[in-house]
């Protein structure tokens, strides 16, 4: 798993958010003290407070689980933009974890194949059962 230092170094060296709204970076900064947020392009709102979450595998997996569940929800409701952002968020967590699913590149039916692969690998709820996520029934207008 990557350390805070390795993540900061990667961002300083050009790793960019893959979401138009910065959703991936807005999740990862929760694991950093406020003084590091500028590296990601964020700042704390006036009067706000923040205590960084410990960057442990357990804590990352907890966030990943929530993000996979949210990704399934958006994909199954055919919310294309939100689903695509969650696809990138989940891939970011795979990068943080040094997980081989970081290189997953099958974006079908709103990201369902990735959400399923991550859910199965990490013991989360797989909301599409035996389906692969490529099935036409998950397509818009099906």
For 35-71, the pLDDT digits (tens) are 999 999 999 988 789 999 999 999 999 999 999 999 9
pTM (2 d.p.):
0.94
Q: What is the pLDDT of residue 140?
A: 82
Q: What is the pLDDT of residue 27?
A: 97
User: What mean pLDDT is predicted for residues 94-115?
Assistant: 96
Positive or negative, the CA dihedral 76, 139, 90, 81 is negative
37 compared with 140, residue with greater pLDDT: 37
Whether 142 has a pLDDT exceeding 70, the answer reads no
Q: What is the mean pLDDT of the chain?
A: 96
Residue ranges of domains in the chain: 4-138
User: What mean pLDDT is predicted for residues 136-140?
Assistant: 90
Percent of the chain, pLDDT > 70? 99
Whether 18 has a pLDDT exceeding 70, the answer reads yes
Q: What is the pLDDT of residue 69?
A: 98
Q: H/E element holding 87?
A: helix 80-96
Task: List, in sequence order, every beta strand (DSSP E) within the chain.
Answer: none
**142 Cβ contact partners less than 8 Å away, ≥ 6 residues apart:** 136
What does DSSP assign to residue 43? -
Q: What is the pLDDT of residue 46?
A: 82
Q: Is residue 93 a contact partner of residue 60, using CB atoms and an 8 Å limit? A: yes
Specify the 3-state DSSP secondary structure of 111: helix
């Amino acid at each position: 798993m990557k350390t805070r230092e390795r993540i900061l170094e990667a961002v300083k060296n050009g790793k960019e958010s893959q979401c138009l709204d910065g959703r991936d970076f807005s999740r990862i900064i929760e694991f950093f003290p406020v003084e590091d947020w500028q590296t990601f392009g964020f700042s704390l709102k006036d009067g706000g407070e923040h205590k960084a979450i410990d960057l442990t595998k357990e804590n990352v997996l907890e966030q990943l689980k929530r993000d996979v569940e949210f990704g399934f929800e958006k994909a199954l409701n055919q919310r294309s933009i939100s689903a695509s952002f969650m696809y990138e968020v989940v891939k970011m967590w795979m990068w943080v974890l040094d997980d081989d699913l970081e290189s997953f590149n099958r974006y079908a039916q709103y990201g369902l194949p990735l959400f399923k692969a991550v859910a199965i690998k990490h013991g989360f709820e797989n909301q599409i059962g035996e389906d692969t996520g490529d099935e036409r029934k998950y397509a818009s207008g099906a």
